[in-house]
Amino acid sequence: MVQATESTNTTGVGDYFKNIWDALATTVAGMKITGRYFFQKPITIQYPDEVMPIPDRYRGIHYLEQDKCIECHACERACPIDCIEMEAVRHGKELEWISFTVDYQKCMFCELCVYPCPADCIHMGTEFAFVTEDRSELNLDLLSYQGMSRDARIRMKEAAIKKAEKEAAKKAKAEAKAKAEADKAAEGGAATAGEGAQGADDAKADDAGEEPTDG
């Protein structure tokens, strides 16, 4: 069709029919191409239903391994725009988390918080969708729940049970020892004194054996 207008300046009869031929041929050629595309599978990815594969090193919303975190504030200090804040209460060796927030209004996903972490517990995740009705909702708490983690609770409970068992064992041994001493006092023989010393040694060894697992 483009050729058809260029013929306005030319007068040849051959040009006239060439224009007709060109218009038809180019139209058919174009329609072949679009027809091929028509029967090709669409390359669209229906986003909310299907998601494109996300590369492993994608820098999305942070992912925090709460159990490994030791509340050292290294990431907080490393953050160039101070968008990380954390707060926790210590219970002996366990941490009771109050908050670990990242303000994604400010965060620029530079990954600088990930490198200094001594416990290797903060990572960049693959989640990237930020749709909120209010900007304050963009200040995300990375703890999946408040307070202590489930694992920490289990660890604390196990430690408490072990401590109670140890104390019970100690108490039983002390009672046994007292009983043995009472027996010895009743018999009054020098030979039984050695047995009493033996029992005391055993109790000591038990204590030493339990101590490493204690905590």
Partner 1 sequence: MLNMIPTEAASVPLVQEGTVGGNLVLHWLEGIAPEGLPGWLLPLVTAHVSVGIVVGMISLIAMSSVWLERKVSGHIQCRYGPMYAGGWHGWAQTIADGVKLLTKEDMVPLGADRPLFMMAPAIVLGAIFGAFVAMPLSPDFYFADLNLGLFFVLGMSALTTIGVVMSGWASNSKWSLYGSMREAAQVVAYEIPFGLSLLVPLIVAGTFNMREASAGQADFLGMGWYIFKNPFMVPAAIIFFIAMLAETKRAPFDLPEAESELVAGFLTEYSGIRWSFFFMEEYAAMFLMCLVGSVFFFGGFESPFTHFAGEWFGTGTFVYNVVAALTLITKSMFGVILMMWIRWTLPRVRIDQVMTMGYKYLTPLALLCVLGAAVWEAIF
The contact set with partner 1 (CB under 8 A) reads 1-2, 4-5, 7-8, 16, 19-20, 23-24, 27, 30-31, 33-35, 37-40, 42-44, 46
19 versus 149: smaller Cβ distance to partner 1: 19
Q: Which is nearer to partner 1, 47 or 194 (CB)?
A: 47
Strands (E), 79-209: 84-91, 94-103, 122-124, 139-141
Distance CA(88)–CA(18), nearest Å, equals 83
Compute the least distance from the CB of residue 40 to partner 1, in Å.
Answer: 6
Q: 85 pairs with which residues across the strands? A: 101
Q: How far is the CB of 54 from partner 1 (least distance, A)?
A: 22
Q: In this complex, which beta carbon is closest to partner 1, that of residue 16 or of residue 115? A: 16
Q: Identify whether the C-beta of residue 125 lies closer than 8 Å to the C-beta of residue 46.
A: no
Q: Which amino acid is present at 41?
A: K
If the CB atoms of residues 131 and 190 are measured against partner 1, the closer one turns out to be 131
- Closest separation in Å from C-beta 6 to partner 1: 9
Give least dist CB 52 to partner 1, A: 15
For the packed helices 191-210 and 150-187, what is the interaxial angle rounded to 10 degrees? 180
The sheet with strand 94-103 has its strands ordered as 84-91, 94-103, 139-141
